[in-house]
């Protein structure tokens, strides 16, 4: 018997034990799982789908277990399972029952290899028999179960007992739950705590009406339930609360389609047996109403706005349009209409619409903001519901906008008696009127009545032009203003609103004051004093700064080193010097004020204004950019420069500082002389004003005006006369440095009996007016007027004497340098004739060179004379300076060429010297001729005559441009207008260029003319590109302004009658005559100068030229 046969018993026993263990384990798990499912079903009431899923899962588990068992049994039978293999069994038996645990295993292996073994079969058989004998002796109870199986069986029995007890406790629930699980495909409704019933059931309403739904609950009623409405593209859910009777109400508004509805409550607890408690689903049926299917609004704006009408669809609830617009309404319905009307929120009445079958139409006027509804009804009187509430929003025509660029709120009137106005007017739909409302206030003249007047300003009234720039020169000369008067005015702009009436925009109050002569002269004096103080301060500061720089320079020369403290001193001195040069701008600005005030108010003659312009040019020349650049460069690099570079820079700055001091000395000298002339003109104007005021007073006394007021007027005249006498006294002191004789004459006049008598008579006239003695007052007033005229005439003679004195003095100086220039020219011409004919190797070249050097020394003396004279007059023009400079340059070159024995090149330079000296002489002649003609040292007569003609032409062009921009010219004629404007402006440019080529002008005047030329060029460019804007008019006005400013001495301006409201009477003067006809000593001076000139050894050509010149001077006397 084989060993394997004996081992099969042990295999089967082990298989049985494993099967029993697996059985009891599976049974305990199945009982627990089944109990859990039944328990959960009793609580949650599984849905059918879940129950079917669980049932399927159990079947799958059972099937899997059976299949697994069959597979195990098959593997066992074929000894494929390692757990049940003979070797595994032999090992377990050897360990538990045999002395040698490997003996049984070895026997099996020998038995397995018995046929192929070479070992003796007897030994193998003996071993197998011995093993079989040992196996047979093993006593094993087949029925006895192992401990692990018994333990698992007991556990299963215990668990089953526990579950059985629980099932008995909850037997009904477990039985019903088991029943529901067994019948998994059957629907079972879980018990609910309450029931929801719909009380209204199915509801029938009209389209657009509301539906009321009511629900009642029984049982443990909740606080609120949810109601759901369903329809086509409609789904609405709402929570509703219960009342005290557990009844739930809800109203659904504006229903236009069939709906279904129900009430329900969803479970909010996971352990609830139910998911939802719902009522039955009921319906809401809608009966058809008339509906508005289409609405169109056609809005027609008011005619004045010139806006196009427009359409608006009915789905837009806001209707916006200009107030006064008409809304045309067109409606289409789904049914034939019986009537239609518009209802307004704030009105009780309604507006009926016209009805035609399914259509309705009508119109309303937009006046105020409000709401309206469109109501329609059919022939059964069934009306539409919940129509759109439309809102009417009237757009208010805005107030016109008025922007004022100039004048300023407070401004002054000058003697042009024009107030330039630049406005910008803006409106959304156009304008109807623009005007200035004004009132003339005269606090000093009680006889004038303050009357409010209106002046219309022209505008383009075309509605399409919503924004306009208005340029207007308001001429106020017709209102006869007197000094001290002021005009209070404001601007009013009206739009073209014809619905609510034109709306008005009113500007702030503007005040334009016509200052008195006394005020203007006082301001002028303040500016003059400011210049004197500032110049004095700057001169002292520059002197101190230059002195400090010089000391630093000396220290640097000695030590060749510079410490930090010394650098700080240099830096401070340079900064002070730089600041003082920069302060000269303040003086230039102050001179600007003087020029503008004088020019605008005609305080002084144009010649005097021109002299102030010349003073300003001196200041600008002093403020040399090169000097400031040197100062700033040294200040910025003071820490970097070497001692040698610093020394060189300091020397250059010192040289520049000395030049500034000399220029400022020149400025002060000329300024003092101009100040005297200014004071003389001021006195003359004041006297004329006094005379005119006294004459007006005489007329008012004759007309029996209020004597108290007339007395005050006489007192004002007396005060003005006292102020004039004080100015006369200070002016006599200013004249002393120039002429003691004329100063004494003016002082004698100031202290004369005639003046004292006039003052006493003014006081007496005040007493007469206090006593209301009209006859004596008239007589006294006329006598005062005559005395004032006599005093004024004497003053004019003194003033003229001063002018003649300074002019004659200047002419003598000019004649001297003229003769010296002619003399040098003659000598140079003779020297040139010697130079050109001598060979280059001749020893005479050295003599010629020496003679040329002598002429150079004489020329240097002449240049110094020019420099000295330029500090006293503006007649030394830049052209004279350039000519004399060319002569000096060519003399230096001629000397160099002679030293190099290049006599031909030297001769060419000598010819240029003669040419330059002759040009200088010619320019001197022109300057003297100008002084002779105008009685001053300026020489601008010819230039100013031409400039006046050009300014008149430019003024005409400006007026034509303004008319075009205001729309007063046909728009279709625009092309012809542009061509004509280009031609006219080009002619002016050509004339200006010709004038610059022909006349000798100062550098400042040339610069001014060049700016005019540049402005004209800009205008021509704009016109060539068809650009006509307000910018062109601004440029044209700027050109005209510059032309007028350039006219400095065309005619010596006298008293301007526009300052007085009444014209002065002609006065025939029978007193003593003035100066003699030969102008005193002028003829004697000219004859003496001619005699001296002819005594010199000039050629016949030069003598003839000199005679012609002096004869011309004598003939003009």
Average pLDDT for 872-887? 73
Contact call for residues 781 and 694 (beta carbons, < 8 A): yes
User: Does the pLDDT at position 1074 exceed 60?
Assistant: no
pLDDT recorded at residue 66: 83
CA distance 753 to 936: 33
- Report the chain's terminal Cα–Cα distance, integer Å: 182
CA distance 1020 to 992: 15
In this structure, which long-range contacts are made by residues 62-68, counting pairs with CB atoms below 8 Å and at least 24 apart in sequence? Answer: 65/26
Phi then psi dihedrals of residue 423, to 5 deg: -120, 155
What is the per-residue pLDDT across 464-507, written as a single tens digit (0 to 9) for each?
677 888 888 898 888 777 777 788 899 999 888 888 878 889 99
Most confident range (mean pLDDT) of 119-123, 224-228, 676-680, 820-824 is 224-228
What is the per-residue pLDDT across 969-979, written as a single tens digit (0 to 9) for each?
555 567 777 87
* Residue 16, CB-side half-sphere exposure with 13 Å CA sphere: 13
Token couple for 170: 């909850």
Contact call for residues 834 and 848 (beta carbons, < 8 A): yes
Please identify which residue in the block is written with the tokens 């929570």. Answer: 239
Which of 33-42, 70-79, 1070-1079 has the weakest average pLDDT? 1070-1079
Instruction: Using pLDDT thresholds of 50, 70 and 90, give the confidence band for residue 255.
Output: confident
In 3-state terms, what secondary structure has residue 344?
A: strand
CA distance 97 to 103: 11
Which of 515-529, 569-583, 681-695, 820-834 has the weakest average pLDDT? 515-529
pLDDT recorded at residue 905: 84
For residue 758, being part of any structural domain is answered with no
Same-domain pairing of 325 and 474: no
What would you measure as the largest C-alpha separation in the chain, in angstroms? 195
Which of 1047, 1078, 1101 is a domain's end point?
Answer: 1047
Which of 916, 933, 950 is a domain's end point?
Answer: 933
In this structure, which long-range contacts are made by residues 455-462, counting pairs with CB atoms below 8 Å and at least 24 apart in sequence? Answer: 457/421, 457/423, 457/491, 458/434, 458/966, 458/968, 459/425, 459/431, 459/433, 459/434, 459/966, 460/966, 460/967, 461/430, 461/431, 461/432, 461/496, 462/430, 462/967
Same-domain pairing of 836 and 871: yes
Same-domain pairing of 925 and 998: no
4: exposed, middle or buried (C-beta count within 10 Å: 0-12, 13-18, 19+)? middle
427: exposed, middle or buried (C-beta count within 10 Å: 0-12, 13-18, 19+)? buried
User: Does the pLDDT at position 9 exceed 50?
Assistant: yes
DSSP letter assigned to residue 792:
H
What is the per-residue pLDDT across 899-928, written as a single tens digit (0 to 9) for each?
888 878 888 888 888 888 888 878 777 776
Average pLDDT for 102-129? 64
Instruction: Using pLDDT thresholds of 50, 70 and 90, give the confidence band for residue 435.
Output: very high
CA distance 331 to 295: 5
Partnered with residue 435 across adjacent β-strands are 456, 492
Partnered with residue 356 across adjacent β-strands are 359
Which of 272-281, 785-794, 821-830, 1104-1113 has the weakest average pLDDT? 1104-1113
For residue 216, being part of any structural domain is answered with yes
User: Does the pLDDT at position 727 exceed 70?
Assistant: yes
Contact call for residues 500 and 457 (beta carbons, < 8 A): no
**How many Cβ atoms from other residues are within 10 Å of residue 266's Cβ?**
12
Average pLDDT for 997-1003? 52
Same-domain pairing of 900 and 846: yes
Same-domain pairing of 1037 and 955: yes
Instruction: Give residue 916's Cα distance to chain centre.
Output: 56
What is the per-residue pLDDT across 284-295, written as a single tens digit (0 to 9) for each?
988 777 888 889
Same-domain pairing of 956 and 1038: yes
- The percent of residues above 90 in pLDDT, for the chain, comes to 5
Count of structural domains within the chain: 6
Angle between helices 643-702 and 774-836 (to 10 degrees): 150
CA distance 821 to 844: 26
For residue 997, being part of any structural domain is answered with yes
More confident residue, 386 or 419: 419
Instruction: Using pLDDT thresholds of 50, 70 and 90, give the confidence band for residue 300.
Output: very high
For residue 85, being part of any structural domain is answered with yes
Q: Whole-number mean pLDDT of the chain?
A: 76
Taking alpha carbons only, the member of 680, 784, 670, 672 closest to residue 727 is 680
The 3-state secondary structure of 1012-1064 reads HHHHHHHHHHHHHCCCCCHHHHHHHHHHHHHHHHHCCCCCCCCCCHHHCCCCC
pTM: 0.44
Q: How far is CA 50 from CA 81, 190, 963, in A?
A: 39, 15, 99
Contact call for residues 128 and 4 (beta carbons, < 8 A): no
Same-domain pairing of 256 and 337: no
Same-domain pairing of 69 and 20: yes
Which residue range forms the structural domain that includes residue 276? 194-287
Instruction: Using pLDDT thresholds of 50, 70 and 90, give the confidence band for residue 262.
Output: very high
pLDDT recorded at residue 616: 66
pLDDT recorded at residue 329: 92
Same-domain pairing of 225 and 207: yes
DSSP letter assigned to residue 305:
G
Instruction: Using pLDDT thresholds of 50, 70 and 90, give the confidence band for residue 1073.
Output: very low
* Cis previous bond, 788, omega within 30: no
Which of 455, 486, 511 is a domain's end point?
Answer: 511
In 3-state terms, what secondary structure has residue 1092?
A: helix
Taking alpha carbons only, the member of 682, 746, 754 closest to residue 720 is 682
Which of 22-26, 441-445, 851-855 has the weakest average pLDDT? 441-445
Element (H, E) at 566: helix 564-601
Instruction: Using pLDDT thresholds of 50, 70 and 90, give the confidence band for residue 1076.
Output: very low
Taking alpha carbons only, the member of 371, 370, 367 closest to residue 322 is 367
Taking alpha carbons only, the member of 253, 601, 545 closest to residue 414 is 601
For residue 1084, being part of any structural domain is answered with no
Instruction: Using pLDDT thresholds of 50, 70 and 90, give the confidence band for residue 233.
Output: confident
Instruction: Using pLDDT thresholds of 50, 70 and 90, give the confidence band for residue 1054.
Output: very low
pLDDT recorded at residue 1060: 38
pLDDT recorded at residue 1071: 36
More confident residue, 1042 or 360: 360
Average pLDDT for 768-775? 82
DSSP letter assigned to residue 728:
H
pLDDT recorded at residue 846: 81
Partnered with residue 425 across adjacent β-strands are 402, 468
Partnered with residue 495 across adjacent β-strands are 431
More confident residue, 1103 or 738: 738
Same-domain pairing of 950 and 922: no
145: exposed, middle or buried (C-beta count within 10 Å: 0-12, 13-18, 19+)? middle
Instruction: Give residue 192's Cα distance to chain centre.
Output: 77
For residue 699, being part of any structural domain is answered with no
Instruction: Using the Cα atoms of residue 351, residue 356, residue 359 and residue 362 in order, give the sign of their dihedral.
Output: negative
pLDDT recorded at residue 460: 77
242: exposed, middle or buried (C-beta count within 10 Å: 0-12, 13-18, 19+)? middle
Domain CATH for 333: 2.60.40.10
For residue 1002, being part of any structural domain is answered with yes
More confident residue, 186 or 360: 360
Same-domain pairing of 945 and 904: no
Our CA angle for 230, 232, 238, nearest 5°, is 25
User: Does the pLDDT at position 1063 exceed 70?
Assistant: no
Same-domain pairing of 277 and 298: no
More confident residue, 980 or 1062: 980
Average pLDDT for 849-862? 84
In 3-state terms, what secondary structure has residue 715?
A: helix
Average pLDDT for 736-763? 86
Average pLDDT for 711-723? 85
CA distance 369 to 367: 7
Token couple for 442: 């005269």
Which of 182-191, 337-346, 853-862, 902-911 has the weakest average pLDDT? 182-191
Taking alpha carbons only, the member of 668, 786, 796, 800 closest to residue 737 is 668
Average pLDDT for 243-250? 86
For residue 915, being part of any structural domain is answered with yes
Taking alpha carbons only, the member of 51, 1063, 73 closest to residue 480 is 1063
In 3-state terms, what secondary structure has residue 1093?
A: helix
């Amino acid at each position: 018997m084989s060993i394997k046969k004996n081992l099969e018993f042990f295999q089967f026993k082990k298989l049985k034990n494993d099967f029993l263990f697996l059985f009891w384990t599976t049974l305990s798990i199945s009982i627990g799982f089944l109990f859990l499912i039944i328990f959960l079903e009793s609580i949650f009431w599984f849905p059918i789908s879940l129950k079917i899923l669980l049932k399927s899962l159990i079947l799958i588990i059972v099937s899997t277990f059976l299949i697994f068992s069959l597979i195990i049994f098959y593997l066992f039978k074929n000894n494929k399972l390692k757990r049940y293999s003979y070797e595994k069994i032999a090992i377990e038996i050897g360990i538990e029952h045999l002395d040698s645990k490997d003996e049984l295993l070895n026997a099996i292996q020998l038995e397995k290899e018995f046929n192929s073994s070479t070992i003796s079969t007897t030994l193998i058989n003996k071993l197998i028999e011995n093993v079989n004998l040992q196996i047979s002796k093993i006593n094993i109870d087949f029925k006895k179960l192992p401990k692990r199986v018994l333990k698992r069986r007991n556990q299963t029995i215990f668990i089953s007992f526990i579950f059985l007890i629980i099932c008995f406790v909850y037997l009904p629930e477990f039985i019903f739950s088991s029943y529901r699980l067994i019948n998994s495909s059957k629907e079972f409704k879980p018990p609910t705590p309450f029931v929801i019933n719909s009380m209204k059931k199915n509801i029938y309403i009209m389209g657009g009406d509301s539906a009321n739904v009511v629900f009642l609950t029984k049982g443990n009623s909740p606080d609120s339930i949810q109601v759901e409405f369903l329809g086509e593209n409609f789904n609405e859910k709402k929570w509703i609360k219960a009342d005290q009777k557990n009844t739930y109400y809800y109203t659904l508004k504006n229903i236009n389609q069939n709906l279904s509805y129900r009430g329900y409550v969803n479970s909010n607890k996971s352990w609830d047996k139910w998911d939802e408690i719902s009522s039955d689903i009921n319906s809401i049926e809608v009966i058809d109403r008339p509906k508005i299917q289409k609405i169109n609004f056609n809005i027609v704006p008011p005619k004045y706005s010139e806006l196009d009408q427009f359409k608006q669809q009915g789905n837009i609830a806001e209707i916006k349009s200009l107030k006064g617009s008409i809304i045309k309404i067109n409606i289409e319905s789904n049914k034939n209409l019986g009537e239609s009307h518009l209802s307004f929120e704030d009105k009780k009445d309604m507006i009926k619409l016209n009805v035609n079958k399914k259509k309705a139409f009508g119109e309303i006027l937009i006046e105020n903001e409000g709401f309206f509804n469109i109501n329609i009804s059919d022939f059964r009187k069934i009306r539409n519901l919940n129509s759109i509430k439309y809102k009417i929003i009237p757009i208010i025509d805005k107030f016109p906008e008025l922007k004022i660029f100039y004048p300023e709120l407070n401004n002054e009137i000058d003697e042009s008696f024009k107030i330039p106005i630049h406005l910008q007017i803006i409106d959304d739909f156009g304008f109807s009127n623009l005007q200035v409302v004004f009132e003339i206030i005269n606090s000093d003249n009680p006889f004038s009545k303050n009357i409010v007047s209106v002046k219309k300003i022209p505008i383009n009234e075309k509605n399409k032009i919503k924004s306009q720039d208005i340029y207007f020169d308001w001429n106020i000369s017709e209102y006869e203003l007197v000094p001290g008067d002021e005009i209070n005015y404001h601007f009013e702009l009206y739009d073209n609103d014809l619905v609510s009436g034109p709306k008005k925009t009113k500007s702030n109050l503007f005040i334009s004051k016509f200052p008195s002569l006394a005020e203007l002269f006082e301001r002028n004096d303040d500016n003059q004093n400011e210049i004197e103080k500032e110049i004095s301060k700057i001169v002292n500061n520059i002197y101190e700064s230059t002195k400090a720089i010089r000391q630093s320079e000396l220290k640097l020369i000695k030590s060749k080193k510079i410490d930090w403290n010394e650098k700080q001193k240099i830096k401070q001195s340079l900064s002070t010097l730089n600041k003082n040069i920069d302060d000269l701008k303040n003086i230039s600005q102050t001179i600007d004020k003087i020029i503008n005030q004088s020019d605008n108010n005609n305080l002084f003659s144009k010649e005097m204004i021109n002299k102030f312009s010349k003073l300003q040019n001196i200041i600008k020349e002093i403020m040399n950019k090169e000097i400031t650049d040197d100062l700033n460069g040294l200040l910025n690099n003071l820490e970097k420069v070497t001692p040698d570079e610093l020394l060189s820079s300091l020397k250059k700055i010192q040289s520049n500082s000395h030049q500034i001091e000399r220029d400022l000395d020149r400025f002060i000298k000329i300024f003092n002389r101009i100040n005297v002339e200014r004071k003389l003109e001021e006195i003359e104007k004041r006297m004329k004003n006094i005379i005119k005021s006294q004459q007006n007073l005489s007329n008012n006394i004759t007309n029996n005006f209020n004597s108290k007021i007339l007395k005050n007027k006489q007192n004002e005249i007396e005060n003005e006369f006292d102020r004039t006498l004080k100015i006369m006294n200070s002016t006599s002191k200013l004249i002393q440095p120039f002429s003691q004789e004329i100063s004494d004459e003016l002082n004698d006049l100031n202290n004369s009996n005639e003046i004292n008598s006039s003052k006493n008579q003014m006081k007496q006239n005040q007493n007469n007016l206090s006593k209301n003695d009209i006859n004596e007052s008239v007589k006294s007033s006329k006598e005062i007027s005559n005395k004032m005229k006599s005093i004024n005439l004497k003053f004019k003679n003194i003033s003229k004497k001063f002018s003649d004195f300074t002019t004659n003095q200047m002419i003598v100086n000019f004649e001297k340098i003229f003769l010296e220039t002619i003399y040098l020219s003659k000598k140079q011409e003779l020297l040139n004739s010697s130079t050109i004919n001598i060979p280059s190797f001749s020893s005479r070249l050295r003599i010629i060179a020496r003679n040329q050097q002598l002429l150079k020394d004489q020329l240097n003396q002449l240049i110094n004379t020019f420099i000295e004279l330029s500090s006293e007059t503006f007649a030394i023009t830049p052209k004279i300076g350039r000519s004399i400079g060319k002569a000096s340059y060519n003399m230096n070159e001629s000397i160099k060429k002679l030293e190099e024995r290049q006599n031909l090149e030297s001769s060419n330079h000598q010819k240029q010297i003669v040419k330059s000296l002759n040009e200088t002489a010619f320019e001197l002649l022109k300057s003297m001729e100008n002084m002779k003609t105008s009685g001053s040292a300026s020489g601008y007569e010819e230039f100013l005559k031409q400039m006046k003609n050009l300014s008149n032409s430019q003024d005409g062009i400006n007026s034509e441009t303004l008319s075009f921009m205001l729309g007063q010219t046909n728009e279709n004629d625009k092309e012809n207008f542009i061509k004509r404007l280009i031609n006219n402006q080009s002619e002016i440019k050509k004339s200006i260029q010709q004038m610059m080529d022909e006349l000798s002008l100062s550098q400042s005047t040339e610069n001014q003319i060049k700016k005019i030329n540049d402005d004209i060029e800009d205008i021509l460019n704009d016109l060539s590109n068809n650009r006509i804007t307000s910018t062109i008019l601004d440029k044209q006005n700027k050109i005209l302004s510059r032309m007028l400013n350039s006219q400095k001495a065309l005619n010596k301006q006298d008293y301007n009658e526009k300052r007085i409201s009444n014209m002065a009477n002609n006065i025939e003067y029978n007193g003593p005559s003035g100066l003699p006809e030969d102008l005193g000593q002028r003829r004697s001076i000219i004859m003496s100068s001619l005699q001296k000139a002819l005594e010199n050894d000039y050629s016949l050509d030069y003598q003839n030229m000199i005679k012609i010149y002096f004869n011309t001077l004598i003939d003009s006397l």
